[in-house]
Amino acid sequence: MRIAVVGAGGVGGYFGARLAAAGNEVTFVARGRQLEAIRRDGLLVRSPLGEFRVHADAVVPTIADLGPVDVLLVAVKLWDTDDVVAQLRNHVGAGTMVISLQNGVQKDAVLRRELPAEAVAGGVCYISAAIAEPGIVVHNGEMQKLVFGEYGGQDSDRTRTFLDACLKAGIDAEISADIERVIWEKFVFLASISGATSAVRQPIGVVRADPRSRALLGDLMAEVVAVGRAAGVGLDPAFADDRLTFCDSLPATMTSSMHHDLTEGHRLELAWLSGAVADLGEELGVSTPRHRTVADILAPYELGEPDSVDEPIDADTDA
Ligand SMILES: NC(=O)C1=CN([C@@H]2O[C@H](COP(=O)(O)OP(=O)(O)OC[C@H]3O[C@@H](n4cnc5c(N)ncnc54)[C@H](OP(=O)(O)O)[C@@H]3O)[C@@H](O)[C@H]2O)C=CC1
Ligand SMILES: CC(C)(CO)C(=O)C(=O)O
């Protein structure tokens, strides 16, 4: 199968390398030091499921350099979506299925607005992975799953063919007939665990052990369920409780990619997570005070570590 992966980071690097190792014709679109390193040494994946290196036959700097592909996976951070979609506009032909593996509930609306809507299938990924250094992706834990499906829920040859390629590559994968609900279900968990672990600045084990931070996590989940239901998504009202209980089964050290980005001083996807919950809530008349507060508290970190204030704090200074 011919597959293009736009963004060769934690997510795109991991799933693209697995698909390449299984014999698919994978082309990475990468940039900067990641592009140079993959060109030179290929891409090394360090995973508890086994370490492997793929020597990418093809790694290119822009989407314009891609040939025709059957599947195109979008795996850039959410702030890069508009740029990628603008490049994709001239590139996505009738035979290409585009699947975004990004987080959040707004990504596919952007893709469907700019590309032929029928080119876009919905998708989510479940994994914890990051670039450790240029050319090296580290997979934390054993979870590595893709769920995708046609908007409209119909069965299709293209999703079945891609499923087959994923399963042969050792990726835990499935097709969903209700991909919009699946994307929102992940969002209930993801926006909330990202908000709570980032606000507390600790992994899930610490968040869930303290009754007040646990209550925060539960409230964050309940707010996303309420917003999703107001948006017409068929989320079970009990789903927030279900996800909170699910958090008890996670390894104590597990955290979110946003908390990881916060501790590394990187830019945050806050606007598409807690920020989006609060904004959508406002539009739909649903109260989301917990997500709004998390978005406000983390706002100074949104573009990376804020500049520190040099003057010593003087409690006696008059305002
Ligand atoms: N990491 C994780 O564990 C998970 C992440 N996700 C989601 O997946 C998405 C991707 O996250 P993640 O893999 O962590 O991100 P990374 O930052 O690790 O990888 C993204 C890569 O794409 C590159 N890139 C961005 N724009 C372009 C472009 N136009 N052309 C070529 N390369 C480009 C980036 O380069 P540069 O560094 O120069 O910006 C970077 O190397 C996010 O929406 C995230 O929320 C979902 C589940 C788990
Ligand atoms: C919570 C997790 C690891 C699940 O895939 C995730 O998607 C993220 O942190 O971005």
Same fold, 2-177 and 181-301: no
Ligand that lies nearest to the alpha carbon of residue 100, given by its number in the listed order? 1
The ipTM estimated for the assembled molecules is: 0.98
pLDDT value at 298 more than 90: yes
Atom of ligand 2 nearest to the CA of 259: 9
104 backbone φψ class: left, alpha, beta (φ>0; ψ -120 to 50): left
CATH fold of 181-301: N-(1-d-carboxylethyl)-l-norvaline Dehydrogenase; domain 2 (1.10.1040)
Q: Which residues line ligand 2 (CB under 6 A)?
A: 103, 126-128, 190, 193, 256-257
Q: What is the pLDDT of residues 247-258, one digit of tens each?
A: 999 999 999 999
Superfamily of domain 2-177 in the CATH hierarchy: NAD(P)-binding Rossmann-like Domain (3.40.50.720)
Residue 270, SS3 per DSSP:
helix
Nearest CA to ligand 1 atom 8: 102
Model confidence over 88-144: pLDDT tens digits?
998 888 799 999 999 999 999 999 999 998 999 999 999 999 999 999 999 998 999
Which numbered atom of ligand 1 lies nearest the CA of 32? 38
Domain residue extents for the chain? 2-177, 181-301
Whether 55 shows a pLDDT value over 90: the answer reads: no
Report which bound ligand comes closest to the CA of 137. Answer: 1
According to DSSP, the β-strands at 52-54 and 43-46 are antiparallel
The pLDDT, as a whole number, for residue 319 is 46
Mean pLDDT over the full length of the chain: 95
Q: Coil, strand, or helix at residue 59?
A: strand
pTM score: 0.95
Rounded distance, CA 295 to CA 289, Å? 10
- What whole-number distance in Å separates Cα of residue 88 and Cα of residue 235? 32
